[in-house]
């Protein structure tokens, strides 16, 4: 039986098909989940027990939740030559192309942001940085590979917590843009 508090998330959307939300979903909400609920965006949340020794946060989500790696995206922060922070959302199976991100952002070059700067700007811990509900509004770029996906998974703002939503909804909520910023490993 569907919990009536979560029934709206399933109506009219294929996102809610399949596994019901886990018990951890009723735990205190993250800013990312609060934003999705406030904006009434169709989504589903899945959780797993995070292993502190996992080599890759995104790879761990793929493995523990049995997800398609092409549909699971990691949220990375990069810094421009003027120290502007940018959000890059790329498939966990690949890596960020910093030159392509710089071109998409219209800057000379980018480098990965320091972990402490990323955590300060987003309000999330590394490994649980969500593109949604960040403390500061940063320019966001979603890899163009997401355009063909009906749904994608990103961090819900905590290690071991993933949210599934439509790529178009992610872009609308982040005021982001599609750009070919991912590359194969």
pLDDT tens digits, one per residue of 140-162: 999 999 999 999 999 999 988 99
pLDDT of residue 185: 83
pLDDT of residue 28: 52
pLDDT of residue 173: 97
CA distance 139 to 82: 14
pLDDT of residue 48: 87
Tens of pLDDT, residue by residue over 74-83, are 999 999 999 9
163, pLDDT greater than 90? yes
| Mean pLDDT over each residue of the chain, to the nearest integer | 86
CA distance 69 to 94: 9
In this prediction, residues 124-147 reach a mean pLDDT of 96
93, pLDDT greater than 60? yes
CA distance 73 to 166: 12
Closest CA to 122 of 108, 140, 110, 104: 140
CA distance 27 to 37: 14
CA distance 113 to 56: 18
Strands 85-91 and 94-96: unpaired
Kindly state the percentage of the chain with pLDDT values over 70: 85
Q: What is the dihedral of CA 172, 173, 177, 179, to 10 degrees?
A: -110
Closest CA to 57 of 31, 88, 65, 23: 65
Q: Which residue has the higher pLDDT, 1 or 52?
A: 52
3-state secondary structure of 95: strand
Tens of pLDDT, residue by residue over 37-51, are 999 999 999 988 888
In this prediction, residues 24-32 reach a mean pLDDT of 68
Closest CA to 6 of 23, 24, 21, 28: 21
């Amino acid at each position: 039986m569907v919990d009536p508090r979560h029934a709206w998330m399933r109506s009219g959307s294929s996102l809610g098909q399949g596994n019901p939300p886990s018990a951890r979903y009723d735990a205190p909400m993250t800013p990312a989940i609060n934003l999705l609920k406030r904006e009434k965006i169709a989504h589903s949340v899945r959780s797993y027990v995070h292993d502190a020794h996992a080599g890759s946060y995104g790879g761990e989500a793929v493995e523990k939740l049995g997800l398609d790696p092409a549909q699971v995206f990691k949220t990375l922060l990069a810094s421009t030559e003027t120290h502007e922070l940018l959000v890059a959302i790329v498939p966990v199976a690949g890596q960020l192309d910093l030159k392509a991100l710089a071109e998409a952002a219209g800057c000379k070059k980018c480098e990965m942001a320091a972990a402490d700067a990323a955590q300060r700007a987003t309000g999330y811990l590394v490994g649980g940085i969500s593109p949604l509900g960040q403390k500061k509004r940063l320019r966001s770029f979603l890899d163009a590979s997401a355009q063909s996906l009906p749904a994608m998974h990103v961090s819900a703002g905590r290690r071991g917590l993933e949210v599934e939503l439509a790529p178009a909804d992610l872009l609308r909520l982040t005021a982001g843009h599609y750009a070919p910023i991912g590359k194969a490993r």
